[in-house]
Structure 1
Amino acid sequence: MQLGIRLHDTTKRPFEERIAEVHQLGFACGHMALSKVIDEFPTTDEALTPGLAMYIRNVFARNQVDIAVLGCYLNLANPNREQLAETVHRYMAHIRFASWLGCGVVGTETGAPNETYSFTPECHTEEALKLFADNLHPIVEYAEKMGVVVAIEPVYRHIVSNPKRARKVLDEINSPNLQIIFDPVNLLDMENYAERKSVIEEAIELLGADVAMVHLKDCAVRDGKLVSMGCGLGEMDYTVVLKFMKERKPFIHATLEDTKPENNQRVKHFIMRKYAEV
């Protein structure tokens, strides 16, 4: 695997210095959420020009770091039509930008059918799934025109909450430009934590062929809640996930999540050792 890191989990520095440090830390790629990583200049929709893309691309190339994911984690199930239109515009701007950047995927989670992007039981209904798929469809069509992959990330507390619902969206939209960001921990909650091995195995069985990249983090139960953290700091068994990556996804981008500047090297060495052992 080509191991990287979520860029806004690294030490806050000017953009060029931050990317240089990512290389110095030994990471091969990064997950970039523009507004969380760049302060020196605007990253509004109108700012996302070919020139800015080529500047950013050159900074990454100079430091031998790939852009694994351009994050656009906005709610495509927002019932407020005005806010939804702004969100769709933002997605399309990111997709255009990604085509100039040469990044791996434009990544997104899958929202909630409310304006606050918060979990309610309605998230897991068929109506919410249809709403999300209907709103995602034109985004994927635009990605096809721009030659970009959009990757959805199933999350237990969002609309695409499990592997079966993710498979349903993939099959309904039926596009090679729609793929999956596989984050095993995000598929888990207290409701299914005891069955976590079978949940992860089902995800690999149903979605493995369409996995474009992987997020790696850990989790543990703390005070009756499932809490996420850096790899090796919790209770996760990575054998199944890393075996899948090693056998079926050569050189796949995998980015660490929920690390801190003071532990990212410990986490990196832990997961690289596990990867070597499987």
Structure 2
Amino acid sequence: MNKIGIRAHDIGKFDEKTLSKKVMEYGFDGVQLVFKKAIDHPVDFNNLIEMKKHFQYPMIMMLGAYFNPIHPDPKVVEEGIENFKNHLKIANSLKTKFVGTETGSLMGSPWGYVKENHSNESLNQMIHVIKDLADTASTYKSYIAIEGAYAHVAYSPQRIKKILEEVKSPYVKVTIDLFNYLHLGNYQDRMEIFETCLNLLRDDIVIFHLKDFIVQNEKLVQVGLGQGLMDFPKIIRRIQEVKPEAYLIFEGVTGEDIKTSYDYIKSLLEGK
């Protein structure tokens, strides 16, 4: 059965012991962990004793080292690459395989949409960065999990496929976040887009981000899982058929929605 996790800082920011305990209280198998957002003190990469102690179970499903690989400021890109490589180096010591990032935006910060993001020039710039990261991943036998989004360089599953074909590394895998691909012009085609993700990328998918949404004031707005337009009974069934080993990670699910969302997805996995 697919294991269920949550982005740790959606629960809050705590020390390792407290955070681990809170994750277990909800029932999650693991976390997507961004140190600076979820841990209430600086993490020393040379001293991970507490992290290892408290995150054997729940496990660390993915380390988040998200950065903008095509930021217009080269210094920001350089710092992001260095930080990502440091995460690749420690991943195995924390018994996690994956370090995740998105594919970036020329807007800089925040990572919003500009039309140039979808150009071949931006794609090639991003591929160059991923090739470099893949060499480091190979050295440490850890894996990069890249995640597409409509506003970014990899605006479609086809674009992610192109990156995989160009990088040609077994150490580059994929996180599918269906919500990230959606906008007002295509959200009604969400299940078709999801099937495209499965068909094109199934061999490399390792994580699914689970999000739900409604349309409000001409915007797609996130809500708790099972409270919106996503057809989770079908989505979960298809994941079980195609990628039963992939991690299911809640992202952007907070507060009282955490428990109801967990109970809902768990019941679908169990066929109830």
TM-score, with structure 1 as normaliser? 0.92
Q: Provide the residue aligned with 1:246 in structure 2.
A: 240
Asked whether the 8 Å contact 1:78–1:114 carries over to 2, the reply is yes
CA, structure 1 residues 13+85, in 2 after alignment: closer, same or farther (shift >3 Å)? Answer: closer
Say if 2:186 is the partner of 1:186: no
> Which amino acid is the alignment partner of residue 40 of structure 2?
D
TM-superposed CA distance for 1:245, in Å, is 2.1
Write the deviation string for residues 155-191 of structure 1: whole angstroms up to 9, x where unpaired.
1111101010000000111111000011111111112
Q: CA deviation at 1:239?
A: 3.8
Which amino acid is the alignment partner of residue 103 of structure 2?
T
> What is the CA–CA distance in structure 2 between the aligned matches of 1:113 and 1:131, rounded to whole Å?
11
Paired position in structure 2 for 1:175: 169
Match for 1:184: what amino acid? Answer: L
- The answer on whether the counterparts of 2:145 and 2:174 sit within 8 Å (CA) in structure 1 is yes
Q: Does 1:48 align with 2:8?
A: no
Matched, 1:58 2:53: yes
List per-residue Cα deviations over 1:207-250 (Å, max 9, x = no partner): 11110111111011111111123211211012443123212323
What are the equivalent positions in structure 2 for 1:76-115 lying under 5 Å apart?
A: 76-115=69-108
Show CA shifts across 1:48-103 (max 9, x none): 11x32x43122112xx2110010011101123222221111111111112132121
Asked if the contact 1:230–1:256 (Cα under 8 Å) also holds between the matched residues in 2, the reply is: no
- Report deviation, 1:251: 3.7
User: 1:274: how far off?
Assistant: 2.3
- Is 1:11–1:261's contact at 8 Å kept on the other side of the alignment? no
Q: What displacement does 1:36 show? A: 0.4
Query: Does the 8 Å contact 2:202/2:243 carry over to 1?
Result: no
Aligned pair count reads 270
Residue 29 (structure 2) pairs with residue 36 (structure 1): no
In the alignment, which of 207, 213, 222 is matched to residue 213 of structure 1?
207
1:266 aligns with 2:260: yes
Partner of 1:275: 269
Question: Gaps spanning 5+ residues in structure 2: where?
Answer: none
User: What secondary structure is seen at the aligned counterpart in 2 of 1:199?
Assistant: helix
Report which stretch shifted further, 164-173 or 124-133.
Answer: 124-133
Structure 1: tracts of 5 or more residues without a match: none
Measure the CA separation in 2 of the matches of 1:12 and 1:87. 22
Instruction: Tell me the secondary structure at the aligned position of residue 155 of structure 1.
Output: coil
Identical aligned pairs, as a percentage?
29
CA distance in 2, matches of 1:26, 1:108: 26
Are the counterparts in 2 of residues 230 and 257 from structure 1 also a CA contact under 8 Å? Answer: no
Distance 2:97 2:208 in 1: 12
CA contact (8 A) 1:28 1:65 kept: yes
Instruction: Please report how far the alpha carbon of residue 12 of structure 1 lies from its aligned counterpart in structure 2 after TM superposition.
Output: 3.9
Q: Distance in 1 between matches of 2:100 and 2:138?
A: 15
The code of the aligned residue for 1:92 comes to K
Aligned equivalent of 2:136: 142
Contact 2:12 2:38 in 1 (8 A): no
Please say if 1:154 is aligned against 2:148: yes
